[in-house]
Amino acid sequence: VFASSAGMDKLRQTEMVKSSVPCLRTERYISPDIWLGSDCVMKPCSGGSSVGVHIIKNATQALLNEAAEEIRKYDDVPIIQTLVEDARELELLALHDSESGECLILGPVEIGKGASFLSYDDKYASSLTRVIPACKVKIPEETKALLREYSARVFTALGGEIYMRTDFLMDR
């Protein structure tokens, strides 16, 4: 239960795993000053499925504050992250093997998309999205091995007990 709650709180999750795996710069949105002129993502701290996500290019104070107000309809805590432009979305599954005590990692699978960002509707009500099976994901074997290692580290850092999906963004 703890791992699930930590996984839904993006700030707490980042704090818990950043010493184990590379993470995007992620912080609670308080002041626009350090983000002005940058490309960033603002979203609810404890949401999922792209609900309330805002992609902001060349951020201005007005754009950032407008996005923060919109996000507060979903969550009291807007967070802001570095934007990874046109990223590949890769997902892995970590499973605890009760017999051996080991963490087994499946994947990665890739979430193929017809747009640079997948909205909630794109994910669940569109033909734009497709899952590319692990055997067809075109990334080097060394990268797949590294993602599996990162997935196991996240599982451990968050105190995973049975299974956990881990999502990664990767530059194209």
pLDDT score for 42: 96
Chain-centre distance of CA 88, in angstroms? 11
Identify the residue whose tokens are 């996005």: 67
Distance CA 24, CA 90 (A): 15
pLDDT score for 116: 65
Residues 6+ apart with CB under 8 A from 168: 89, 90, 91, 92, 108, 147, 150
pLDDT score for 31: 87
Minimal CA–CA distance to 12: which of 26, 1, 24, 22? 26
Q: Which segments of 18-140 does DSSP mark as H helices, in order? A: 61-71, 120-124
| Amino acid (one-letter) located at 116 | S
pLDDT score for 86: 82
pLDDT score for 85: 87
pLDDT digit string, tens, across residues 95-135: 999 999 899 999 999 988 766 676 667 666 667 678 899 99
For the whole model, what pTM was predicted? 0.88
pLDDT score for 106: 96
Residues of the chain with confidence (pLDDT) below 50: none
pLDDT score for 114: 61
pLDDT score for 120: 67
Peptide bond connecting 32 to the previous residue in cis, omega within 30 degrees of 0: no
